Structure 1
């Protein structure tokens, strides 16, 4: 049955639509932190549909909210008043920390970043964008044009002039050997030098932790130091919180808060986890930035009632059950367990991350050379052991990505770590 579906998939869908595993699996249903495939195999899910099933599979509170809303009205577009959209916008605006915030809902993180670029370039009357090396911001024409990871950027054509800045990857590149303070100082000097050679950019867009890039991040405070320089030039800061938002890092509700002395960003984008699988993305910005567009606009599917109902129920559950605190506690246990396991595997270069956002970088033993074949072998071995994880990284996808739903409990963390330890040992 699965082979038949795979053949049909290949016959009608694009060749560039990636599938995991040598024998791809069809996930048919899920509950809590587990999913099942079409053959009845049960897996512990440590990837959550690419960090999107944020709380749990088939969460009763979300399922009930979606069902009840579907029984009333599913969609009307933004041309009509929409109570669930207003209610969720009020919550997001308050949680964002951005003063006098306005919220615009989209259907994905790609579209959210696209909108942020539209706002920034219009507000600043500049089509120059600063982006981080190794970054990923989506698959639209404009967001591909600011993606600093060549594995996810299929064209050099772009409506924007993009200039790439150092700092998103702490343990690679020309500044890797420096102390944290010296690393930040070197990156700031690089930014200042870059600004001396170009017309004033519209904005810097940055993921506080690079997701597709392999869960890499700079030392805390880098973006605060950048912000001081940007502010002198009137350049906006866009924080891409598509993967880091809603408490996943454990220590903070938003990733930008690790760089807190700078205050909130001018524009923030979000998506993925807020819908717990429903298609929600969005942009939060100060009112003068959000309102700078001088033409009409709508969103046909952004903010539709059924997705907003899901988002409200999911956000309420997350806050009421302190899933940020759970990510900090259980994530801390999980990362230490994985570091202990990786200490006996020469192919593991680094275990890094925060909360329930953990990366395991695989290289050829004794070198810094990426080993995507070994990473793929671990992915396969983990699946065979009953665990689903992801992979990414700026060096030929050699980073294993571990990002379970935020309701993960200690027993499940221990179980997943044991499976992953066996998978890592299998490549030696």
Structure 2
């Protein structure tokens, strides 16, 4: 155990998890690579939990941060803030939500917390519909709508939460159905649920479940849900903390795979837009955003320095078509991973969209999740020079792959080869 690890354990909560038997201290990064305190270099396939979206030490972002830091770092929302207004204008346009208003926070948790505040105030209801296997943050309200037991430490809540089917395509009671019948069954479940409830405020859903193991429903599910929700006056909140900004390749936002009935009422974002700076936010149509009848501010949300970073990061992403790169390189990577894992009895499924890919591990010959195998592959991949994430609704048995969106074809091939060796070594 290193001295820093011992010091960490002495002052940190027991529930503050660290990856690896011998945890890493990352000291610097460049592009898609990071280095640890011992000088080892790693290909980064997790990006600090999907947060280093474009690249480590992206010159455009670091320059913007340095220049803004030289002017003013902080002011709060009590003063006009040019970078915040400029970023809000761009996000409002990109969101697809008509007459959009944008409120900035410091994290995805806080963004989802704000969305819940807006929805419950607007609908005057504390009842929330959420998806099974979901994850929405670590605050008191967001853990209460998280449908993944491993990440929801208390059942005490200011909200009444009811869980809906549909977030996981390949497990559960509808897994054997065709996509069309799967959607029909999930819609019927939602209709039945609404017939037994009073007045739900909103359905909150991740288009692709992040912590849940990069699972997703068939395209069109949330459009079908929207028809039902609209009849009942229930808002739709799309949690785009992990799916936003083009990571899924085919779409800029995850909700666009379910776009038949237009954008969500509320959209939340965070993680990648700041490329490591602490940025989150909420987009909603004016009627919903303006429903609060009390004052509110944010001390740190939309700070000049985080907005400068976000503006530079977003410009780079759009100018270099990183959504297109996620589609092209992600498509190659997922097919390569399917090829190298095809003969492995421990791999149940390789799934994903763009550069958001999950590999679900099970005990060979069964459908039983194997978190020990996932941990072993994580260790073996690190030894081979590759950093991965893990997650899943069945005891963290899914390897999560979400590299920066500038990933090259050569790096995708390199990572797939290291992962193939890691699966073999861990098996």
Distance 1:88 1:425 in 2: 46
1:66 matched to 2:65 = yes
Distance 1:332 1:416 in 2: 14
1:61-103 per-position Cα deviation (integer Å, ceiling 9, x unaligned): 0000000000000000000000000000000000000000000
Deviation at 1:401, TM superposition (A): 0.0
Partner of 2:161: 162
1:253-297 per-position Cα deviation (integer Å, ceiling 9, x unaligned): 000000010210000000000000000000000000000001000
Number of positions where the alignment pairs a residue of Structure 1 with one of Structure 2:
427
Deviation at 1:427, TM superposition (A): 2.7
Distance 1:222 1:256 in 2: 10
Distance 1:133 1:424 in 2: 29
Distance 2:425 2:336 in 1: 17
Distance 2:317 2:425 in 1: 36
Deviation at 1:30, TM superposition (A): 0.1
Instruction: Report SS of the residue matched to 1:162.
Output: strand
Report if aligned partners of 1:236, 1:266 keep a CA contact under 8 Å in 2. yes
Runs of 4+ in 1 over 4 A off after TM superposition: none
Deviation at 1:106, TM superposition (A): 0.0
Distance 1:283 1:180 in 2: 31
Partner of 2:341: 342
Distance 1:320 1:305 in 2: 22
Deviation at 1:425, TM superposition (A): 1.4
1:207-243 per-position Cα deviation (integer Å, ceiling 9, x unaligned): 0000000000000000000000000000000000000
Deviation at 1:344, TM superposition (A): 1.3
1:342-398 per-position Cα deviation (integer Å, ceiling 9, x unaligned): 101110000000000000000001111000000100000000000000000000000
Alignment of 1:283-294 (within 5 A): 283-294=282-293
Distance 1:342 1:172 in 2: 20
Report if aligned partners of 1:223, 1:262 keep a CA contact under 8 Å in 2. no
Partner of 1:86: 85
Distance 2:17 2:379 in 1: 15
What is the Cα-based RMSD across aligned positions, in Å?
Answer: 0.5
Alignment of 1:101-180 (within 5 A): 101-180=100-179
Which runs of 5 or more structure 2 residues have no equivalent in the other structure?
A: none
1:14 matched to 2:13 = yes
Task: Report the TM-score when normalising by structure 1.
Answer: 0.99
Partner of 2:306: 307
Partner of 2:223: 224
Which runs of 5 or more structure 1 residues have no equivalent in the other structure?
A: none
Instruction: Report SS of the residue matched to 1:426.
Output: helix
Task: Report the TM-score when normalising by structure 2.
Answer: 1.00
Instruction: Report SS of the residue matched to 2:101.
Output: strand
